[in-house]
Structure 1
């Protein structure tokens, strides 16, 4: 029979194995789920999911990724939709910290990469204010998956030495950017949440001298089985968006077109739809 010292030693080893916080100390992992294809999850993301007690996920998380959550884990949808129904950010912050303070291992599962247009800083600030431990597990952002889908790269020697990731709208409405710089020949931008602002973006760029024939590519559901790629010109951007029934998330590439070898054209309001 072990004496008192033996029992204390076993307890200390158990606490150390649990991270030294005891049974009631929770934590939060901000995990990037990638653009949808579960094959694009990182090993770190998969391990975080496997250890989760609670998974608080965005609206855009694919069913394929959600299926990897352990059966014991509580899954909570905390979706946001631009110009549509959304869970208030304050409520999301409260859900994250409340579960962690009760001792749960919380995964805040965000589509793409949590550091790109994911309101990550607000959720980290909430954790800090509540005294909750956290870490970030980065993921593959939609721009990386989308550019791979069209057989291109985001940067290219002699074409562009920088790339911009911009949003079509922010909390105040349509987002303003350095349109004069973007309008220069050879510039490349990945525009997130850009379908509702397509006419605004098109107008701003052309107003600042962008060539109407500049290539634009729209990618819906990047990396997923129902992925759709539509090639257009800047001059056709707004009409193409308005003439196409999109049901999933859309990423807009300004300054990039699908490689010709991949293109199987079909007419959609003057644009090319590319088989993928």
Structure 2
């Protein structure tokens, strides 16, 4: 009976193609609905087409700086629409992104940068002075637009498969030093597709992205909406009061949200 239950739960034969990775499924959506809103932040919005083109341009800049398969790119930026550009750009370039919370202590950030073997740090000029920069680490500020805004807005041709890494996420370190967990594209796309099916996510949905990008569960919170035509509302770096959160959820017609239990 237990074996039968496990067989029913096993979705390894679910209908998805391992040849289409998360960033490619997003690009498919961008081609289908370029004018639909993808990301909302404060008063700013990015359509699917705008987000895709900006990510493509930044991806070409990353490739020119040596980013490719298995190359780790640390991302330490304020919460904003631009951070979506950064995540997608690293994936499109074929690299592996390592999300860092800029509110973490410097010692912890330094440890994560060194332990992940990051070769490039993608950041913003407003927070760069606060970050520890190991010797030999190249730094690119995303707001220095002349560095990448003139690049082609067509998708780069990064050869990846399901075994290549998509990102490295760090545990809390509550049992010792934080540990980097490597997440490959194949399991990731399977999980993201299954999440969209379970939530029945579609173009009329909007997910409130509330938790830190340094938390693993937060990444399905932007990936699965963007491959299903939905939008993502990103909280800023302040911790919203419950009343303000409620107001924003109604203002932006939020249909999905994930919160820490204590909140």
| TM-score scaled by length of structure 1 | 0.27
Q: Which has the larger radius of gyration?
A: 1
